[in-house]
Amino acid sequence: MTRNVFRLGGKRAVVTGGASGIGQAIARTFAERGATVHILDVNEDAAQETARAIVAAGGAATAHRCDVTDGADVERVFGAILQQGRLAILVNDAGIAHVGNLESTTADDLDRIYRVNVKGVYHCMHACIGHMKEQGGGVILNMASVAASVGIADRFAYSMSKGAVLAMTYSAAKDYAQHNVRVVSISPARVHTPFVDGFLKANYPGREAEMFAKLSATQPIGRMGTPQEVADLALYLCSDEAAFATGTDYPIDGGFLRLNT
């Protein structure tokens, strides 16, 4: 008998940072599997474009401009979404990067990373957790990073923020397991997104190919991951097939954590 697995039909999902990169791949994948997807992004035009592409492909998606650093804005957007019905899934993907060690990271740098990567996750979890409790369950998926678990050179503020995301995941999972709310996280290594291309162009003009190869080689598998590969893992973790998974981080890293010795 063939099982019809990893379906999200009838489920409503919020994906923050869903207008590009990993978040966009997750939004598209969830919609393909039947979810009604709400795309939250500070870039409203890009969010609208992603939603239109999903609808054109036969899916259901709505774009919302949302600044996850602003608690009032998050409450406003989630309030409108929750009025439409049950929210089954929250994916916290919105985040920013920073390059620098302790000495070169300013207090403003640290605050900026904290506001987006830490408080942004808090705001969105806080906005929906009461709803999920009342409805009898849900899934929260947070995007962490391998930087949360190992030291990576020149990633002081970013590593701090992703370590906090990992700790919030574990804490919320313990607090809300009794309410049938599963909380998990994914820790990617380097993933080839438009951000990577922009970073290389801005910081290594004329050496983009050389630096791309260097970054790719840091994964023992010999390449960066793809947004779709992360999205496929997210699909599993947010599906009913992962009903036994909570309070756990799932690396997807081409061997970065265990095979780099």
User: If you search the block for the tokens 């036969």, which residue do you land on?
Assistant: 58
Q: Comparing 199 with 193, which gets the higher pLDDT?
A: 193
Q: What's the pLDDT tens digit per position in 85-104? A: 999 999 999 999 999 999 99
pLDDT digits (tens, 9 = 90+) for 238-247: 999 999 999 9
Instruction: Compute the distance between CA of residue 100 and CA of residue 112 in angstroms, rounded to an integer.
Output: 13
Q: What is the pLDDT of residues 204-229, one digit of tens each?
A: 899 999 999 999 999 999 999 999 99
Q: How sure is the predictor about 195, in pLDDT bands with cuts at 50, 70 and 90?
A: confident
Q: Evaluate if residue 71 carries a pLDDT over 80.
A: yes
Distance CA 142, CA 118 (A): 11
User: What does the mean pLDDT of the chain come to?
Assistant: 96
Which of the two residues, 31 and 199, has the higher pLDDT score?
Answer: 31
232-235 long-range CB contacts below 8 Å, 24 or more apart?
232/29, 233/186, 234/26, 234/29, 234/30, 234/91, 234/141, 234/186, 235/6, 235/8, 235/26, 235/29, 235/30, 235/33
- Name the pLDDT band for 2 (thresholds 50, 70, 90): low
pLDDT score of 145 more than 70: yes
Say what the pLDDT of residue 4 is.
Answer: 81
Task: Kindly report, residue by residue over 4-60, the tens digit of the pLDDT.
Answer: 889 999 999 999 999 999 999 999 999 999 999 999 999 999 999 999 999 999 999
From 158, 170, 204, 236, active-site residue: 158
Task: Check if 158 is active-site.
Answer: yes
The pLDDT of residue 230 is above 90: yes
Q: So what's the pLDDT on residue 261?
A: 64
Q: What is the pTM of this model?
A: 0.95
* Confidence check: pLDDT of 1 > 80: no
Provide, rounded to the nearest whole percent, the portion of the chain with pLDDT above 90. Answer: 93
pLDDT at position 101 is 96
State mean pLDDT over 114-122: 98
Domains of the chain: 12-188+228-251 (3.40.50.720), 190-224 (no CATH)
Residues 180, 185: Cα–Cα separation, whole Å: 16
User: Is the pLDDT confidence value at 175 over 90?
Assistant: yes
